[in-house]
Structure 1
Amino acid sequence: MNRDLLALHQPLHVFEESLFENIVEDLVNKGFSIQKNGLPDFILNALATCQETLHHKEYKTAGIGRADDFQHVSEVRGDTICWITGSSQEGALWLAWCDALKLYINRTLFMGLFSFESHFACYEPGKFYKRHVDAFRGQSNRVLSLVAYLNEDWQPDDGGELILYRDEEDIRGISVTPQLGTFVVFLSEQFPHEVLPAVRPRHSVAGWFRVNGSVNDNIDPPK
């Protein structure tokens, strides 16, 4: 069996429990956590392998809104995405690691996280995502966002930073370089953020931990 896949059958400490604890402490104290070079090597290798094998035709133009409100607005968002279903071993490993993080957060913060969805994102040179929030208060079941980066040797002049704003009034924000291995976790409703244009292709993985928003026979998240 692949050595990385053996991690699926190991105790939680293989998933870096100390790292999970650091994330929880940050969420309690700040509402966000920035982990530079924080992804374990076996997860980073799995994501890089999975991303490198994707054909460009598997990426679709990203949009904004959900269901009947979904639309493509290039003036707001210019990335292309490919959802991670777990059909590959590498994708399954990533989802399993995120599930371990979900269980740890539920155990320590009692957030009631129910499911996780994730996709690869590619920003070609000059593309961006204007300031936005991942969930509007009372209108979405996305409660915790995660973004991880897959870009080797990213230089300051390459651009493409994630700008995380502390609240609606913040105009300076916190700049995060999209360097390989760095990832960010933050409360989806609380922190506006944007992606600045880059001069080279920029690759990342975005994901959202969700609570169960089902009402009567309306299943949300959908199966």
Structure 2
Amino acid sequence: MNRDLLALHQPLHVFDEALFESVVTDLVEKGFSIQENGLPQFVVDALITCQNTLNSREYKTAGIGRADDFQHAKSVRGDQICWITGSSEEGALWLSWCEAMQQYVNRSLFMGLFSFESHFACYQPGKFYKRHVDAFRGQSNRVLSLVAYLNDEWQQSEGGELVLYRDELDNEGISILPKKGTFVVFLSEQFPHEVLPATRARHSVAGWFRVNGSVNDHIDPPK
């Protein structure tokens, strides 16, 4: 087995307790956490290995909305996505690391995070995702968003920033370059954000920690 994949069989909190505590502190103080070069190298390597095994046919045009409300809207977003199911060791490692973060956040902040979903996202040159929120307040079970970046030697002149806005009235925002190893965590209902166009292909992983919104026989998240 690859040495890095041995992390699958280790207690992940041993690797990341200080990092997760930094995320928790930021969430309490600001509602978001920007961890430049914070993603552990073994997680970065696993994600890149997993991504490299995908072919173009496994990526699908992203849309907006969910279930019956889903639609493609190229004027809003132009990325291609591929969901991470955990069917590979590398994908399972990523999901396990995110589960360790979920457990740490729940112990610290009692957020009741119940599940996690995640996908690779590829923005070809010139593509974007206009300003939006991941969850409208009280209307979704996505409560905590996570974005991680996989781009080597990204330069500011290449664009592609994630712009995180503090609220609906903020028109300046906080810009984050999509450099490999950087990840961002933020409250899904609170922070509008957008992805600006880039001059080269831009690779990231997006994910959402969810609470259990099941009512009677209606399962949420839906399968």
Task: Report if TM-score (shorter chain) is over 0.5.
Answer: yes
CA contact (8 A) 1:15 1:100 kept: no
Q: 1:15·1:97 contact (CA, 8 Å) conserved in 2?
A: no
Report the equivalent of 1:136. 136
1:41-92 CA-partner distances (Å, limit 9, x unpaired):
1000000111112101100000001111110010000000000000011000
Partner of 2:68: 68
Residue 32 of structure 1: aligned partner: 32
Amino acid at match of 1:218: H
1:101 equivalent in structure 2: 101
Percent identity (aligned): 80
The whole-number CA distance in structure 1 between the counterparts of 2:35 and 2:152 is 16
Give 5+ residue unaligned stretches, structure 2: none
Distance 2:148 2:35 in 1: 9
Partners of 2:13 and 2:100 within 8 A in 1: no
The question of whether the paired residues in 2 share the 8 Å contact of 1:7 and 1:14 is answered with no
- 1:78-121 Cα offsets, whole Å, 9 max, x none, are 00000000001100000000000000000110000000000000
Q: Which residue of 1 aligns with 2:171?
A: 171
Q: Amino acid of the residue matched to residue 92 of structure 1?
A: A
Residue type of the alignment partner of 1:170? D
Cα contact 2:134–2:142 (8 A) shared by 1: yes
User: Is it true that 1:47 corresponds to 2:42 in the alignment?
Assistant: no
- Where 2:131 maps in the other structure, the secondary structure is strand
Aligned counterparts of 2:63 and 2:11: Cα–Cα separation in 1: 38
Structure 1 pair 13/214, CA: closer, same or farther in 2 (3 Å)? Answer: closer
Deviation at 1:138, TM superposition (A): 1.0
Q: Distance in 1 between matches of 2:75 and 2:116?
A: 28
Residues 137-152 of structure 1 mapped to structure 2, 5 A cutoff: 137-152=137-152
SS at match of 1:16: helix
Match of 2:92 in 1: 92
Contact residue 133 and residue 193 of structure 1 kept, 8 A: yes
Identify the residue that residue 10 of structure 2 maps to in structure 1: 10
What amino acid maps onto 1:105 in structure 2? V
Contact 1:124–1:200, Cα closer than 8 Å, also in 2: yes
1:23 — aligned with what?
23
Cα distance, 1:152–1:2 mapped onto 2, change above 3 Å: same
Does the CA contact (< 8 Å) of 1:47 and 1:91 recur in 2? Answer: yes
Matching residue of 1:126:
126
Q: CA deviation at 1:15?
A: 3.1
| TM-score, normalised relative to structure 1 | 0.98
Poorly superposed stretches of 4+, deviation over 6 Å: none
- The SS at the match of 1:86 is coil
Distance, in Å, in 1 between the alignment partners of 2:83 and 2:51 is 11
Rounded Cα–Cα distance in structure 2 between residues aligned with 1:185 and 1:158: 23
Other-structure match for 2:188: 188
Name the residue aligned to 2:218. Answer: 218
Answer yes or no: is the 8 Å Cα contact 2:12–2:97 preserved in 1. no
CA RMSD of aligned residues (A): 0.8
